[in-house]
Amino acid sequence: MESSLIKELTTPEEWKKAYPLMKHLRTHLDVESYLALVSEAVQKENYRIAALYESGKMKAVTGFMPMITLYNGRFIWVCDLVTDPDQRFKGFGSALLSYVENWAKDNGYSAVSLSSGLQREAAHRFYEEKMDYDKVSYVFLKKLL
């Protein structure tokens, strides 16, 4: 990576600039729904968004939040991690995930956890082989509406 910078995005204007990247991962959200959900998650769940910039251009984005469960204790949940499809395999995802891991350590969290869609086999290899994550469970979902 050339001149890269990771910056936490804290304002609705900054969140909106991340939407075109986030849309690659969260295809069901229009910009208004995305901004409303980010705003609520920031207020209620301490959700955070960080973006990686290279040469001043946003290349990848992650959303994460602190959680507490009996299973993991105090940990960070990575809600979103997406790199511009034209910029994959350049180390941006690993840089952002490392940023989250360091943020977790610096803030007293003992683990980082995430889920990844069953169809995303390349992402699974990335998490397991490159980032040293263990596959420890399946995530189940039942839609009620």
As beta bridge partners, residue 140 has none
Instruction: Write down the domain spans for the chain.
Output: 4-130
Whether 77 contacts 67, CB under 8 Å: yes
CA distances from 52 to 36, 114, 123, 144 (A): 22, 19, 18, 36
Banded pLDDT at 2 (limits 50, 70, 90): low
Extract the tokens encoding 46: 């301490």
Per the listing, tokens 């009620």 go with 144
Q: What is the pLDDT of residues 83-109, one digit of tens each?
A: 999 999 999 999 999 999 999 999 999
Query: If you search the block for the tokens 């263990």, which residue do you land on?
Result: 134
Query: Could you give the CA distance from residue 91 to residue 123 in angstroms, rounded to a whole number?
Result: 13
The pTM of the whole model exceeds 0.85: yes
For residue 57, report the phi and psi dihedrals to the nearest 5 degrees: -110, 135
What is the mean pLDDT of the segment spanning 101-119? 95
pLDDT in tens, 72-85: 999 999 999 999 99
pLDDT at site 3 = 81
Q: Supply the pLDDT for residue 138.
A: 87
CATH H-level superfamily of 4-130: Gcn5-related N-acetyltransferase (GNAT) (3.40.630.30)
